[in-house]
Chains A and B, each alone.
Chain A
Amino acid sequence: MRRWLSLIVLNTWAIFILLFCRGDISKFSITTRHVIVISSSCQCLIYPLELHAKPTVAIDLISLPTLIAPSTSSFGLIYQSNSTISIYSFEGRKLSNFQCTSIQSRLLTNQVTSLSSRIFAIIDIEGHKVSSLSCF
Protein backbone atom coordinates (compact mmCIF):
# COMPACT_ATOMS: atom_id res chain seq x y z
CA MET A 1 0.00 0.00 0.00
CA ARG A 2 1.72 3.17 -1.18
CA ARG A 3 -0.67 5.82 0.05
CA TRP A 4 1.63 8.53 1.32
CA LEU A 5 4.37 10.64 -0.12
CA SER A 6 6.90 12.45 2.06
CA LEU A 7 8.35 15.71 0.79
CA ILE A 8 11.58 16.93 2.36
CA VAL A 9 12.41 20.63 2.07
CA LEU A 10 16.15 20.58 1.59
CA ASN A 11 16.91 24.02 2.98
CA THR A 12 15.13 23.47 6.27
CA TRP A 13 14.90 19.63 6.34
CA ALA A 14 11.19 20.02 7.11
CA ILE A 15 9.10 16.98 6.14
CA PHE A 16 5.59 17.18 4.68
CA ILE A 17 3.47 14.11 4.15
CA LEU A 18 0.78 13.82 1.45
CA LEU A 19 -1.85 11.20 2.21
CA PHE A 20 -4.05 9.59 -0.43
CA CYS A 21 -7.43 8.03 0.18
CA ARG A 22 -8.60 7.20 -3.35
CA GLY A 23 -5.92 4.68 -4.24
CA ASP A 24 -2.23 3.93 -4.22
CA ILE A 25 0.40 6.22 -5.67
CA SER A 26 1.34 4.82 -9.04
CA LYS A 27 3.84 7.46 -10.18
CA PHE A 28 5.00 10.88 -9.14
CA SER A 29 7.23 13.63 -10.42
CA ILE A 30 8.47 16.90 -9.00
CA THR A 31 9.19 20.16 -10.80
CA THR A 32 10.40 23.48 -9.45
CA ARG A 33 6.85 24.52 -8.48
CA HIS A 34 4.63 21.47 -8.57
CA VAL A 35 4.31 17.87 -7.50
CA ILE A 36 2.51 15.63 -10.00
CA VAL A 37 1.03 12.42 -8.61
CA ILE A 38 -0.68 9.67 -10.59
CA SER A 39 -2.88 7.47 -8.43
CA SER A 40 -3.84 3.89 -9.21
CA SER A 41 -7.44 5.06 -9.69
CA CYS A 42 -6.27 6.82 -12.92
CA GLN A 43 -6.26 10.30 -11.46
CA CYS A 44 -3.54 12.87 -12.03
CA LEU A 45 -3.25 15.24 -9.09
CA ILE A 46 -1.20 18.44 -9.18
CA TYR A 47 0.00 19.97 -5.94
CA PRO A 48 1.69 23.37 -5.80
CA LEU A 49 4.86 23.19 -3.75
CA GLU A 50 3.96 26.23 -1.67
CA LEU A 51 0.61 24.87 -0.51
CA HIS A 52 0.68 21.11 -0.68
CA ALA A 53 -2.27 20.33 1.54
CA LYS A 54 -4.77 20.00 -1.30
CA PRO A 55 -4.33 19.33 -5.00
CA THR A 56 -5.23 22.35 -7.11
CA VAL A 57 -5.99 20.27 -10.17
CA ALA A 58 -7.30 16.73 -10.60
CA ILE A 59 -7.34 15.22 -14.09
CA ASP A 60 -9.19 11.99 -14.83
CA LEU A 61 -7.14 9.76 -17.10
CA ILE A 62 -8.30 6.89 -19.29
CA SER A 63 -5.38 4.63 -18.41
CA LEU A 64 -2.23 4.73 -16.31
CA PRO A 65 0.73 6.38 -18.05
CA THR A 66 4.14 4.73 -18.23
CA LEU A 67 6.13 7.85 -17.48
CA ILE A 68 5.75 11.48 -16.44
CA ALA A 69 7.98 13.93 -18.32
CA PRO A 70 8.03 17.21 -16.37
CA SER A 71 9.05 20.68 -17.52
CA THR A 72 8.65 24.13 -16.02
CA SER A 73 5.52 25.17 -17.93
CA SER A 74 3.85 21.84 -18.70
CA PHE A 75 4.19 18.12 -18.24
CA GLY A 76 3.83 15.13 -20.49
CA LEU A 77 2.21 11.79 -19.78
CA ILE A 78 3.73 9.03 -21.89
CA TYR A 79 1.59 5.96 -22.66
CA GLN A 80 3.72 3.16 -23.94
CA SER A 81 0.79 0.86 -24.68
CA ASN A 82 -0.55 2.97 -27.56
CA SER A 83 2.63 5.09 -28.15
CA THR A 84 0.99 8.38 -27.35
CA ILE A 85 2.16 11.42 -25.45
CA SER A 86 -0.27 13.84 -23.84
CA ILE A 87 0.96 17.27 -22.84
CA TYR A 88 -0.92 19.05 -20.05
CA SER A 89 -0.51 22.47 -18.52
CA PHE A 90 -0.32 22.78 -14.73
CA GLU A 91 -3.83 24.27 -14.80
CA GLY A 92 -5.11 20.92 -16.06
CA ARG A 93 -5.63 21.90 -19.71
CA LYS A 94 -4.72 19.34 -22.35
CA LEU A 95 -2.33 21.12 -24.69
CA SER A 96 -1.68 18.38 -27.19
CA ASN A 97 -1.87 14.67 -27.80
CA PHE A 98 0.31 12.98 -30.38
CA GLN A 99 1.74 9.63 -31.34
CA CYS A 100 5.44 8.81 -31.23
CA THR A 101 6.55 5.41 -32.45
CA SER A 102 9.98 5.78 -30.81
CA ILE A 103 8.58 4.97 -27.39
CA GLN A 104 7.47 1.48 -28.40
CA SER A 105 9.09 -1.67 -27.04
CA ARG A 106 11.80 -0.20 -24.87
CA LEU A 107 12.47 0.65 -21.28
CA LEU A 108 11.30 4.20 -20.72
CA THR A 109 12.94 6.23 -17.99
CA ASN A 110 13.35 9.91 -17.32
CA GLN A 111 16.91 9.59 -18.61
CA VAL A 112 15.87 8.76 -22.17
CA THR A 113 13.20 11.46 -22.50
CA SER A 114 13.21 15.17 -21.77
CA LEU A 115 10.57 17.85 -22.19
CA SER A 116 10.90 21.62 -22.31
CA SER A 117 8.40 24.29 -23.34
CA ARG A 118 9.52 24.10 -26.98
CA ILE A 119 10.99 20.63 -27.52
CA PHE A 120 10.29 17.04 -26.62
CA ALA A 121 13.45 14.93 -26.95
CA ILE A 122 13.77 11.17 -26.87
CA ILE A 123 16.71 8.87 -27.48
CA ASP A 124 15.85 6.89 -30.57
CA ILE A 125 17.31 3.83 -32.23
CA GLU A 126 17.80 4.48 -35.89
CA GLY A 127 16.48 1.87 -38.26
CA HIS A 128 19.56 1.23 -40.31
CA LYS A 129 22.06 -1.38 -39.22
CA VAL A 130 25.43 -2.08 -40.77
CA SER A 131 26.14 -5.78 -40.96
CA SER A 132 29.28 -7.52 -42.10
CA LEU A 133 29.30 -11.04 -43.48
CA SER A 134 32.43 -13.15 -43.43
CA CYS A 135 32.60 -16.69 -44.88
CA PHE A 136 35.30 -19.28 -44.40
Chain B
Amino acid sequence: MVSFNFFEIKSIQLLEPKTGNKLRGWLSQITHEVSLSSISLCQNQIDNKQIIVYLDEKKDLFVAQIPLSYGSVSKAREHSFAIQKIGYQIDSFHLNHDTADIAAISTTSYHIWYDLEGMWFEKDLALLAKDTADLPSGGKNSRIVSMQSPYVLFLRDDGVLLKEIVSPFHSIIRRLVRDENWEKVLQICRLSKSESLWAACAGLALRHNNLQSLRSSLAALKLIDKVEFFDSLMSIERSEVSIFILLSNLHLLLFTVFTFYS
Protein backbone atom coordinates (compact mmCIF):
# COMPACT_ATOMS: atom_id res chain seq x y z
CA MET B 1 0.00 0.00 0.00
CA VAL B 2 1.27 3.40 -0.88
CA SER B 3 0.00 6.54 0.78
CA PHE B 4 0.98 10.11 0.27
CA ASN B 5 0.63 12.89 2.78
CA PHE B 6 0.87 16.28 1.25
CA PHE B 7 1.77 19.14 3.51
CA GLU B 8 1.61 22.63 2.12
CA ILE B 9 3.07 25.69 3.72
CA LYS B 10 1.06 28.77 2.98
CA SER B 11 2.61 32.18 2.82
CA ILE B 12 1.76 35.80 2.27
CA GLN B 13 3.49 37.34 -0.69
CA LEU B 14 4.29 41.03 -0.35
CA LEU B 15 4.72 43.19 -3.44
CA GLU B 16 5.37 46.86 -4.06
CA PRO B 17 2.27 48.22 -5.79
CA LYS B 18 4.19 50.84 -7.78
CA THR B 19 6.51 48.39 -9.52
CA GLY B 20 5.12 44.94 -8.83
CA ASN B 21 8.49 43.80 -7.49
CA LYS B 22 8.81 41.74 -4.35
CA LEU B 23 9.14 43.92 -1.30
CA ARG B 24 12.86 43.37 -0.55
CA GLY B 25 14.58 40.03 -0.41
CA TRP B 26 13.83 38.51 2.95
CA LEU B 27 10.83 40.76 3.47
CA SER B 28 9.06 39.51 0.36
CA GLN B 29 6.94 36.91 2.10
CA ILE B 30 5.63 35.81 5.45
CA THR B 31 5.52 32.05 5.83
CA HIS B 32 3.11 30.32 8.12
CA GLU B 33 2.79 26.67 9.05
CA VAL B 34 -0.97 26.53 8.83
CA SER B 35 -3.09 27.48 5.83
CA LEU B 36 -4.21 31.07 5.93
CA SER B 37 -7.80 32.11 5.47
CA SER B 38 -7.83 35.92 5.44
CA ILE B 39 -5.47 38.90 5.55
CA SER B 40 -5.84 42.63 5.97
CA LEU B 41 -3.28 45.41 5.70
CA CYS B 42 -3.71 48.44 7.93
CA GLN B 43 -3.97 51.51 5.70
CA ASN B 44 -2.14 53.76 8.15
CA GLN B 45 1.56 53.32 8.70
CA ILE B 46 2.78 53.61 12.28
CA ASP B 47 6.43 54.71 12.64
CA ASN B 48 7.09 53.76 9.01
CA LYS B 49 5.91 50.23 9.68
CA GLN B 50 2.96 48.52 8.11
CA ILE B 51 0.72 46.31 10.21
CA ILE B 52 -0.74 43.17 8.68
CA VAL B 53 -3.40 41.08 10.40
CA TYR B 54 -4.06 37.51 9.34
CA LEU B 55 -6.20 34.59 10.38
CA ASP B 56 -5.25 30.98 9.80
CA GLU B 57 -7.42 27.93 9.38
CA LYS B 58 -6.84 26.90 13.01
CA LYS B 59 -8.71 30.13 13.79
CA ASP B 60 -5.67 31.80 15.38
CA LEU B 61 -5.32 35.53 14.82
CA PHE B 62 -1.88 37.04 14.23
CA VAL B 63 -0.51 40.52 13.74
CA ALA B 64 2.81 41.32 12.12
CA GLN B 65 4.82 44.46 11.53
CA ILE B 66 6.48 45.00 8.18
CA PRO B 67 9.34 47.54 8.30
CA LEU B 68 9.18 49.86 5.29
CA SER B 69 12.45 51.77 5.50
CA TYR B 70 15.83 51.24 7.08
CA GLY B 71 18.90 53.27 7.86
CA SER B 72 21.40 50.81 6.45
CA VAL B 73 21.58 47.27 5.17
CA SER B 74 23.06 45.94 8.44
CA LYS B 75 20.29 47.63 10.38
CA ALA B 76 17.75 46.24 7.96
CA ARG B 77 18.95 42.71 8.62
CA GLU B 78 18.11 43.17 12.28
CA HIS B 79 14.51 43.74 11.29
CA SER B 80 12.26 40.79 10.93
CA PHE B 81 8.57 40.24 10.90
CA ALA B 82 7.61 40.75 14.51
CA ILE B 83 4.70 38.34 14.53
CA GLN B 84 2.42 38.23 17.54
CA LYS B 85 -0.44 35.86 18.17
CA ILE B 86 -3.26 37.82 19.73
CA GLY B 87 -6.33 35.61 19.61
CA TYR B 88 -7.62 32.10 19.17
CA GLN B 89 -10.94 30.54 18.13
CA ILE B 90 -11.60 33.56 15.92
CA ASP B 91 -14.15 33.18 13.12
CA SER B 92 -13.69 36.54 11.41
CA PHE B 93 -12.11 39.90 12.08
CA HIS B 94 -12.38 43.51 11.01
CA LEU B 95 -9.60 46.07 11.11
CA ASN B 96 -10.33 49.73 11.70
CA HIS B 97 -7.80 51.44 9.46
CA ASP B 98 -8.00 54.83 11.17
CA THR B 99 -7.31 53.73 14.71
CA ALA B 100 -5.71 50.30 14.06
CA ASP B 101 -8.19 48.59 16.36
CA ILE B 102 -9.20 45.02 15.63
CA ALA B 103 -12.67 43.61 16.25
CA ALA B 104 -13.05 39.86 15.98
CA ILE B 105 -15.88 37.40 16.37
CA SER B 106 -15.42 34.26 18.37
CA THR B 107 -18.18 31.65 18.56
CA THR B 108 -20.59 33.49 20.84
CA SER B 109 -18.72 36.64 21.71
CA TYR B 110 -16.74 39.42 20.11
CA HIS B 111 -13.42 40.95 21.12
CA ILE B 112 -11.91 44.36 20.44
CA TRP B 113 -8.18 44.98 20.76
CA TYR B 114 -7.56 48.67 21.32
CA ASP B 115 -3.79 48.86 21.62
CA LEU B 116 -2.37 47.15 18.56
CA GLU B 117 0.68 49.39 18.49
CA GLY B 118 1.58 48.25 21.98
CA MET B 119 1.84 44.61 20.88
CA TRP B 120 5.46 45.21 19.88
CA PHE B 121 6.17 47.45 22.85
CA GLU B 122 4.70 45.71 25.87
CA LYS B 123 2.55 42.78 24.86
CA ASP B 124 1.18 41.98 28.32
CA LEU B 125 -0.26 45.45 28.69
CA ALA B 126 -1.55 45.49 25.12
CA LEU B 127 -3.38 42.20 25.63
CA LEU B 128 -5.07 43.65 28.71
CA ALA B 129 -6.40 46.52 26.57
CA LYS B 130 -9.08 44.26 25.15
CA ASP B 131 -12.83 44.27 25.59
CA THR B 132 -14.94 41.15 25.29
CA ALA B 133 -18.73 41.03 25.11
CA ASP B 134 -21.44 38.63 24.03
CA LEU B 135 -22.71 38.85 20.50
CA PRO B 136 -26.08 40.58 20.09
CA SER B 137 -29.09 38.29 20.05
CA GLY B 138 -29.30 36.40 16.77
CA GLY B 139 -25.79 37.50 15.93
CA LYS B 140 -24.41 34.00 15.56
CA ASN B 141 -22.78 33.39 12.16
CA SER B 142 -22.61 37.14 11.59
CA ARG B 143 -19.61 39.18 10.50
CA ILE B 144 -18.36 42.63 11.41
CA VAL B 145 -18.78 45.13 8.60
CA SER B 146 -17.85 48.35 10.33
CA MET B 147 -16.18 49.52 13.50
CA GLN B 148 -16.33 53.25 14.06
CA SER B 149 -16.24 54.27 17.71
CA PRO B 150 -18.63 53.97 19.52
CA TYR B 151 -20.43 51.49 17.25
CA VAL B 152 -19.70 48.05 15.90
CA LEU B 153 -21.94 46.82 13.09
CA PHE B 154 -22.63 43.15 12.55
CA LEU B 155 -24.13 41.80 9.35
CA ARG B 156 -26.22 38.70 9.84
CA ASP B 157 -26.60 35.96 7.22
CA ASP B 158 -30.09 37.18 6.37
CA GLY B 159 -28.83 40.72 5.69
CA VAL B 160 -29.92 42.32 8.97
CA LEU B 161 -27.55 44.92 10.42
CA LEU B 162 -27.02 44.79 14.17
CA LYS B 163 -25.52 47.78 15.95
CA GLU B 164 -23.62 47.36 19.21
CA ILE B 165 -22.29 50.18 21.33
CA VAL B 166 -18.68 49.86 22.47
CA SER B 167 -16.53 52.06 24.67
CA PRO B 168 -16.03 55.54 23.16
CA PHE B 169 -13.30 56.39 25.68
CA HIS B 170 -10.44 54.68 23.86
CA SER B 171 -10.61 57.01 20.89
CA ILE B 172 -11.09 59.98 23.25
CA ILE B 173 -7.99 59.23 25.31
CA ARG B 174 -5.92 58.77 22.14
CA ARG B 175 -6.98 62.20 20.99
CA LEU B 176 -6.19 63.67 24.41
CA VAL B 177 -2.76 62.02 24.44
CA ARG B 178 -2.02 63.62 21.07
CA ASP B 179 -2.81 66.96 22.73
CA GLU B 180 -0.69 65.93 25.75
CA ASN B 181 -3.64 66.40 28.07
CA TRP B 182 -2.73 63.61 30.51
CA GLU B 183 -4.78 65.03 33.36
CA LYS B 184 -8.00 64.55 31.43
CA VAL B 185 -6.90 61.11 30.30
CA LEU B 186 -6.54 60.01 33.91
CA GLN B 187 -9.88 61.61 34.80
CA ILE B 188 -11.64 59.64 32.06
CA CYS B 189 -9.94 56.42 33.11
CA ARG B 190 -10.99 56.96 36.74
CA LEU B 191 -14.53 57.74 35.62
CA SER B 192 -14.96 54.66 33.45
CA LYS B 193 -13.21 52.21 35.83
CA SER B 194 -12.51 49.95 32.89
CA GLU B 195 -9.49 47.67 33.04
CA SER B 196 -8.99 47.77 29.29
CA LEU B 197 -8.98 51.56 29.35
CA TRP B 198 -6.38 51.64 32.12
CA ALA B 199 -4.26 49.16 30.17
CA ALA B 200 -4.54 51.29 27.03
CA CYS B 201 -3.62 54.35 29.11
CA ALA B 202 -0.59 52.51 30.54
CA GLY B 203 0.52 51.54 27.03
CA LEU B 204 0.17 55.10 25.80
CA ALA B 205 2.01 56.46 28.85
CA LEU B 206 4.82 53.98 28.29
CA ARG B 207 5.20 54.98 24.65
CA HIS B 208 4.98 58.69 25.41
CA ASN B 209 7.32 58.46 28.44
CA ASN B 210 4.83 59.84 30.93
CA LEU B 211 5.93 58.29 34.22
CA GLN B 212 3.21 59.55 36.53
CA SER B 213 0.38 58.37 34.29
CA LEU B 214 2.11 55.04 33.86
CA ARG B 215 2.39 54.60 37.61
CA SER B 216 -1.26 55.53 38.13
CA SER B 217 -2.34 53.12 35.41
CA LEU B 218 -0.28 50.24 36.79
CA ALA B 219 -1.68 50.91 40.26
CA ALA B 220 -5.24 50.97 38.90
CA LEU B 221 -4.59 47.65 37.16
CA LYS B 222 -3.54 46.30 40.59
CA LEU B 223 -0.11 45.35 39.28
CA ILE B 224 1.40 46.03 42.68
CA ASP B 225 4.70 44.30 41.99
CA LYS B 226 5.29 46.49 38.96
CA VAL B 227 4.37 49.62 40.89
CA GLU B 228 6.84 48.69 43.63
CA PHE B 229 9.53 48.04 41.08
CA PHE B 230 8.69 51.35 39.45
CA ASP B 231 8.96 53.16 42.82
CA SER B 232 12.25 51.50 43.59
CA LEU B 233 13.57 52.67 40.23
CA MET B 234 12.42 56.19 40.92
CA SER B 235 14.04 56.28 44.37
CA ILE B 236 17.50 55.25 43.12
CA GLU B 237 18.53 58.57 41.64
CA ARG B 238 16.59 61.71 41.16
CA SER B 239 18.97 63.63 38.96
CA GLU B 240 17.92 64.63 35.49
CA VAL B 241 20.46 62.32 33.88
CA SER B 242 19.11 59.25 35.61
CA ILE B 243 15.55 60.20 34.74
CA PHE B 244 16.61 60.52 31.11
CA ILE B 245 18.21 57.08 31.18
CA LEU B 246 15.16 55.75 32.98
CA LEU B 247 12.85 57.16 30.33
CA SER B 248 14.85 55.74 27.47
CA ASN B 249 15.11 52.28 29.00
CA LEU B 250 11.81 52.15 30.82
CA HIS B 251 10.05 49.86 28.41
CA LEU B 252 13.03 47.50 28.50
CA LEU B 253 13.09 47.47 32.29
CA LEU B 254 9.37 46.94 32.55
CA PHE B 255 9.58 44.18 30.01
CA THR B 256 12.27 42.54 32.17
CA VAL B 257 10.14 42.72 35.29
CA PHE B 258 7.08 41.48 33.42
CA THR B 259 8.93 38.42 32.21
CA PHE B 260 10.60 37.91 35.61
CA TYR B 261 7.34 37.91 37.54
CA SER B 262 5.20 36.05 34.98
Contact = CB atoms under 8 A, between A and B. Distances in A.
Interface stretch (B37-45, B80-88, B115-123, B183-191): B37-45
A112 B161 CA distance: 24
Interface residues of A, number: 40
Interface string A38-75: 00000000000000000000000000000000011010
B36 A120 contact: no
Contacts of A128: 9
Given A126-B31, A129-B7, A120 B43 contact: no
Nearest to A13: B161
A112 B18 contact: no
B10 A118 contact: no
A72 B17 contact: no
Interface residues of B, number: 44
A126 to B, nearest CB: 5
A100 B15 contact: yes
A122 B15 CA distance: 8
- Decide if the interface of chain A is mainly helix, strand, loop or mixed: strand
A134 B2 CA distance: 6
- Most chain B CB within a 10 A radius of its CB, from A32, A99, A121, A123: A121
A42 B66 CA distance: 36
B260 interface: no
Contact of B153 (A10, A118, A133): A10
A114 B17 contact: no
A117 interface: yes
